[in-house]
Amino acid sequence: MDRDFDEFLHVPARLTIVALLAPASWTEFGFIRDAVGTSDSALSKQLSALATADYVEVRKLPGVVGRRTLVRLTPHGRAAFQAHARALERIASAARVPQPADAETA
């Protein structure tokens, strides 16, 4: 396995979340939920796991109606995502390299 492949980050929901956050600064919870296509509780669970591992920072701010929850990648989370993306690119690249024909099927 590639040394930069991140098993924790590779969970599809987490990978989708960090990929969505990568080009942004602070992102609203509702936008993430809608873009990922998940429920509030499922997103909260994944964000809690990501925050515990220091991949994201979550801020709850007072809003006009209730609270606003904002999320962003931490420097550690951004670096981990970039390293994981490079690992995925290397894995995919290796899969595209033509392999010598199998001697038994030739």
- Print pLDDT tens along the chain (106 aa): 788 999 999 999 999 999 999 999 999 999 999 999 999 999 999 999 999 999 999 999 887 777 899 999 999 999 999 999 999 999 999 888 877 765 455 5
The fold of 12-94 is Arc Repressor Mutant, subunit A (1.10.10)
**What is the predicted pLDDT for the residue at 85?**
96
In the chain, where the domains are located: 12-94
Query: Residue 79: phi, psi to the nearest 5?
Result: -65, -40
Identify the three-state secondary structure at position 72.
Answer: strand
Radius of gyration for the chain, computed over Cα atoms and rounded to the nearest angstrom: 18
**Residues counted in the chain:** 106
- Residue 29's contacts (CB-CB under 8 Å, 6 or more residues apart) are 40, 43, 47, 68, 69, 70, 71
Residue 52 tokens read as 């515990």
pLDDT recorded at residue 66: 76
